[in-house]
A = this chain, B = another copy of it.
Amino acid sequence: MKDLDPTSPPTAEIIAFRLTEAVHEHRILPGTKLSEDEVGEIFGTGRTVVRQALRMLAHEGLLTIERNRGAYVAKPSVKEAREVFEARALVEPQTARAAAERATDDDIALLEAHMAAEHAALAADEAGRALKLSGQFHLELARIADQATIEAFIRQLISRSSLVIALYWRRRNAMCESHAHHALLDALRRHDGDSAEEQMKGHLLDLLSQLDLRDQESAMPSLREALSQ
């Protein structure tokens, strides 16, 4: 009851969470500068707390901090983008399997609510919000699998995936991936680990295939970095 006071100054964790949310929803785009003074004034706190939050996010790969220059929302290279999805392909299918084998009725209900929210966001044309929920769906699977260590890793991967999608997604309009989550949820309902693992593998390949990761795009950025900022 003491932490619910809205007038109390936000902690570093809260600021980090809010910023993470904003980046996941593509309300803050890669390359944006996050000035300490600016963020501090927005949240009504000093720079000390803001610095903690920024360093946390930098450690998760969401920001890059350049000494004496400031914190910027990260712009993953094509190589990093590939690595992120390779890592996800390595870790998430097995996690989905474990989740399917362990999921309780409550877990299923929670995921259904999640998907409903995702559909609602899509219907309301709030693509950013839908994307964030989509990421949370994957994170819920890790939680259900009861693997806190891997869950933390997947959280980082999903964070970076948001950045990758912001930079390299092909068509802005269609976020037609909800079928995949539906199929995953079905597999979980049946406690079918094999199917869940397979669905997840396919889902991640689908996501990767919708990215535009041509090397042509990777040669430019280093040049564009210098001027566009």
Cβ of A94 within 8 Å of any chain B Cβ, yes or no, is yes
Q: Is the CB of A83 within 8 A of B149?
A: yes
B52 with A83: CB separation less than 8 A: no
B83 close to A147 (CB less than 8 A):
yes
Q: Which of A19-27, A85-93, A131-139 contacts B (4 or more CB under 8 A)?
A: A85-93
Chain A interface SS verdict (over half): helix
List, in ascending order, chain B residues with CB within 8 A of A59's CB. 56, 59
Q: Residues of A within 8 Å of B, CB-based: how many?
A: 19
Is A84 part of the binding interface, using a Cβ–Cβ cutoff of 8 Å? yes
Inter-chain CA distance A203–B215, complex, in Å, is 37
Complex alpha-carbon distance, A120 and B113, angstroms: 58
- Provide the A136-162 mask, 1 if CB < 8 A to any CB of B, else 0: 000000000001111001000100100
Starting from the known contacts A55-B55, A55-B56, 4 additional A-B residue pairs (CB-CB under 8 Å) come to A59-B59, A83-B147, A83-B148, A87-B149
CB<8 Å pairs between A and B, sample of 23: A52-B55, A55-B55, A55-B56, A56-B59, A59-B59, A80-B148, A80-B149, A83-B147, A83-B149, A83-B150, A84-B149, A86-B149, A86-B150, A87-B147, A87-B149, A87-B153, A90-B90, A90-B91, A90-B94, A90-B150, A91-B91, A149-B157, A149-B160
